[in-house]
Amino acid sequence: MTLLRLAWRNVMRQRRRTALLSLVVVYVTVATLFLFGFLDGYGESLVDAYAGYVEAPVVVAKEAWWEDPDPENGLMALPSLPEPFTPRLSLYALLRSPYRSEGGVVLGVDPDGERRLSRVPAKVKEGRWLSGPGEVVLGHRLAERLDVRLGERLVLETGKAALGLSVVGIVRSGVSNVDFAGVYLHLEDARRLAGQGILATHLAVWAPRGREEATALALNALLPQGLRAKGVWDLMGPIRADYEGSRLFYIPLMGLFMLLAAVAVVSTTYVSVRERLREFAVGESLGLTPLRLAVGVALEAALASGVGLVLGLLLGYALLAYTATHDVFGPLMRLSVELLPESGLSEHLYTAVRPVYALYAFLVVAFSGLLAWLFPGRLVLGLDLPRYLKGE
């Protein structure tokens, strides 16, 4: 306890130096908190978009369909599942208006089942959600591109059949895949377009938030051979690789950043110790062992960076709390959505706030203490007492 008080007194004696050391730690702490909050928030935004809009929390389909998502690999009979689910039939079709034709994946859905499982029906901003066959609902950016309006007919053609469907709703969800490429039609119409007696290509299954992978795992134990369930993370496609790549890139980078901050703290401590070697020699002559003096040096470094940590945590969590409740990154995300319209990115991104980030940030303090013990501490351990006491 005495040693800690002594270390604290030394830290407070050199306020300017302590302030500079703390500033480095404040900066790194805020950066650490923000980076992890941003990455986790980005991940959560992707899960939200894919589970609620683009795909589903869990999807069940034939192994063959996972390999090749062609309707001919679809389901001819629907299995019974313990979780609530709704059948979907996705197929490639040509969309034709009088002005423009373009290809895309269309989704045949059961309108009521979809209301229970997807957030898309609640995001219809013009018109209404599907109520029966002969109707189609479009993402607003796709409707603009094709130049079709509410009440007009859009032609859907596949290799098997063609239908003219009436546009009854325009969706504005803020999720790129839905707004730029979303085409929702009644399951019966999709079955007509697919032909071959296909009932659905896959089943969208409900799972509580955070339990998607566990639910998929549990389903896989129950499903008959040839069927496989995938959780939302497995449904994300290339954007998941992008997200994981970001983590792989930023986390070691952040580790290096923290190490450099610790080195900055320790190098300043090193200079401080060199300046105070006579003081340490006096301490040793008064009965403090070299080991306790070295511990004291490590404590000084840890306390100085601890002050920075506390301030950094306050600032960092305040920043996270703000960005977790305010759509600060909206403009940036909207730009990303424009650049990557089929990525499943959301136009909104809120950072995550987790207590564990404080633990990550604490690593700077731990590093600083450890390095201070290893380097300036060794100066004290190898102190030539008579030389310093004589004032040479």
Partner 1 sequence: MKRALALVVILALVLTQSPLAKLKAALDRLRGPAHQGVYLVQVERPGSTKSYRLRVYTDGERAQIRVLEPKGEAGQAYLSLGQDLYLYDPRLGRTLRLPPTGRTERFLGSDLTYQDLMGRDLEDLFEVSEADGVLVLTPKPQAATPYGRVEVYLKEGLIERVRYHDQRGQAVRELLLLGYQRLDGAFLPKVMEVRDLLKEGYRTRVEIVEVKVGPVPERCFNPLYLERGC
Phi, psi of 195 (to 5 degrees): 65, -165
Number of residues that bind partner 1 (CB under 8 A): 21
Using rule CB under 8 A, residue 188 touches partner 1:
no
Q: Is 340 in the site for partner 1 (CB under 8 A)?
A: no
For partner 1, which stretch binds (CB under 8 A), given 162-170, 214-222, 269-277, 281-289? 162-170
Question: CB count, 10 Å around CB of 387?
Answer: 12
Q: Which of 111, 109, 126, 122 is nearest to 202 (CA)?
A: 109
The CA dihedral of 42, 47, 52, 54, to the nearest 10 degrees, is 90
Q: Give the C-alpha distances (Å, rounded to integers) separating 114 from 11, 188, 206.
A: 63, 14, 11
Measured distance CA(251)–CA(389) in Å, rounded = 48
- Smallest gap, in angstroms, from Cβ of residue 359 to partner 1? 58
Counting contacts by CB under 8 A, is residue 105 touching partner 1? no
Nearer to partner 1, 156 or 181 (CB): 156
CB 347 within 8 A of CB 333: yes
The nearest distance, CB 180 to partner 1, in angstroms, is: 20
Told to check if 155 binds partner 1 by CB under 8 A, we report yes
Nearer to partner 1, 83 or 152 (CB): 152
DSSP 71: G
Binding segment toward partner 1, per CB under 8 A, in 1-9, 154-162, 272-280, 355-363: 154-162
Residue 107 pairs in a beta bridge with: 90, 184
Options 158, 177, 268, 272; binder of partner 1; rule CB under 8 A: 158
Options 99, 286, 355, 386; binder of partner 1; rule CB under 8 A: 99
Rank residues 82 and 164 by Cβ distance to partner 1 and give the closer one: 164
- Min. distance of Cβ 151 from partner 1 in angstroms? 8
Please, which residues bridge with residue 187 across strands? none
User: At 59, which amino acid appears?
Assistant: V
Q: Which is nearer to partner 1, 165 or 302 (CB)?
A: 165
| CB neighbourhood size of 220 (10 A) | 15
Query: Is there binding between residue 94 and partner 1 (CB under 8 A)?
Result: yes
Q: Is 144 in the site for partner 1 (CB under 8 A)?
A: no
Q: In whole angstroms, how far apart are CA 77 and each of 22, 120, 199, 222?
A: 66, 26, 7, 17
Q: Does 164 bind partner 1 (CB under 8 A)?
A: yes
What's the min distance (Å) between Cβ of 94 and partner 1? 4
Q: Which stretch binds partner 1 (CB under 8 A): 30-38, 62-70, 152-160, 217-225?
A: 152-160
**Whose Cβ is closer to partner 1: residue 154's or residue 304's?**
154
Q: Does 302 bind partner 1 (CB under 8 A)?
A: no
Say whether residue 165 binds partner 1 (CB under 8 A). Answer: yes
* 2, burial (CB in 10 Å: exposed 0-12, middle 13-18, buried 19+): exposed
Q: How far apart are the first and last CA of the chain?
A: 32
Q: Is residue 154 a contact residue for partner 1 (CB under 8 A)?
A: yes
Identity of the residue, 132 or 208, whose beta carbon is nearer to partner 1 in the bound complex? 132
Q: Is 96 in the site for partner 1 (CB under 8 A)?
A: yes
Q: How far apart are CA 220 and CA 126, in angstroms?
A: 39
Tell me, what DSSP letter sits at residue 290? H
Interaction between residue 127 and partner 1 (CB under 8 A): no
* Nearer to partner 1 (CB atom), residue 98 or residue 238: 98
Return the residue matching tokens 């040096």.
297
The identity of residue 374, as a single letter, is L
Indicate whether 162 belongs to the interface with partner 1 (CB under 8 A): yes
Q: Are 6 and 294 in contact (CB under 8 A)?
A: no
Of 31-39, 112-120, 155-163, 355-363: span binding partner 1 (CB under 8 A): 155-163
Residue 157 found at the interface with partner 1 (CB under 8 A): yes
* Cα–Cα distance list, 69 to 58, 64, 188 (Å): 16, 8, 19
Nearer to partner 1, 101 or 196 (CB): 101
Residues 6+ apart with CB under 8 A from 271: none
Applying CB under 8 A, the residues found at the interface with partner 1 are 94, 96-99, 101, 134, 149, 152-159, 161-165
